[in-house]
Amino acid sequence: MRFTKMHGLGNDYVYVNCFQEKVPDPAKTAIIVSDRHRGIGADGLILICPSNVADVKMQMFNADGSQAQMCGNGIRCVAKYAYEHNLTKSKPPSLTIETGRGVLTLGLEINKNNKVEKVCVNMGQPILEPSKVPVLLEGDSIVEAAIDVRNQRMLMTCVSMGNPHAVFFTDDLDSINIEKVGHIIENHELFPERINAHFVRVNSRNDFTMITWERGSGVTLACGTGACACCVAAVLTERSDRNVTAHLPGGDLQIEWSQKDNCVYMTGPATEVFTGVWPEDNAN
């Protein structure tokens, strides 16, 4: 199986071109290749497949083999790969990708060597209705609702960007032990499909710093959909404006929650690390 290792701000995945390759059991393959000691090492596996409704289709599997609807950092890498490997039918500098969130449109920043450096993704409108996040609480939206974590009451704001997020604001980000609380929040009884957990320190009206526990993968250096959800949560709680810089452990993203169309736009880099061949004997 030929593969390409790519990352968006350190949020790394193994990418397989399914125009050429076949992956019979992607859930099992995701677990094997994601192992950072015995595999390639990644936050998961992303398949780049043919689509009847877009340039390409993206299917993603977390490091634990669970399938996810969407990945903001992953989709930027899919766009880079699709453009640079001539898989697109659209005219640059834009293309479309079919995801579990629907068909998303992406704008490409292409350098003089015809390589993609940055990608702007229209992530669609945020979903706030509790049953669609999903979170087992009542109301039109979940904004600073109480949740008990390790005998401590915390306030969360819940947003879906095609996948579920719980956002917690704090003035002391360094005091958060994300490895301890992340797993508990992900598997809390309030979240029937589990959830991504983010802790955010707002630095100004246009700037915040965040750390992430990603559903099915654990601590990650970046989460694109999470950064979008944190922007939405910051606006809903009147902590920030709609256009912000999100500082993640792996780097920065530009996020805008547009008032014109209610869509969230995310801009950031995509980086190819290496290519290789995964031996057939290793798949079992």
Instruction: Write down the mean pLDDT value for the chain.
Output: 96
Q: Please, which residues have CB within 8 angstroms of residue 110's CB and are 6 or more apart in sequence?
A: 83, 92, 93, 116, 117
- Judged against a pLDDT cut of 60, whether residue 284 lies above it is answered with no
How many Cβ atoms are within 10 Å of 88's Cβ, its own excluded?
19
Span 196-208, mean pLDDT?
98
Tell me the per-residue pLDDT of 166-191, one tens digit each, with 9 for 90 and over.
999 999 999 999 999 999 999 999 99
Span 209-216, mean pLDDT?
97
DSSP state of 188: -
Q: Label residue 89 by pLDDT band (50, 70, 90).
A: confident
Tell me the per-residue pLDDT of 129-153, one tens digit each, with 9 for 90 and over.
999 999 999 999 999 999 999 889 9
Tell me the per-residue pLDDT of 234-243, one tens digit each, with 9 for 90 and over.
999 999 999 9
pLDDT in the model for residue 280: 74
Kindly list the structural domains of the chain, giving each domain's residue range(s) and its CATH number in brackets, ordered by start.
2-122+269-283 (3.10.310.10), 130-262 (3.10.310.10)
Q: Please, which residues have CB within 8 angstroms of residue 133's CB and are 6 or more apart in sequence?
A: 127, 142, 158, 159, 160, 164, 195
Q: Which residues are catalytic?
A: 71, 223
Q: Label residue 90 by pLDDT band (50, 70, 90).
A: confident
For residue 281, with 0-12 CB atoms within 10 Å meaning exposed, 13-18 middle and 19 or more buried, which class applies?
A: exposed
Span 38-67, mean pLDDT?
97
pLDDT in the model for residue 91: 81
d(C-alpha 209, C-alpha 252), whole Å: 9
Q: Label residue 164 by pLDDT band (50, 70, 90).
A: very high
Beta bridge partners of 70: none
pLDDT in the model for residue 283: 61
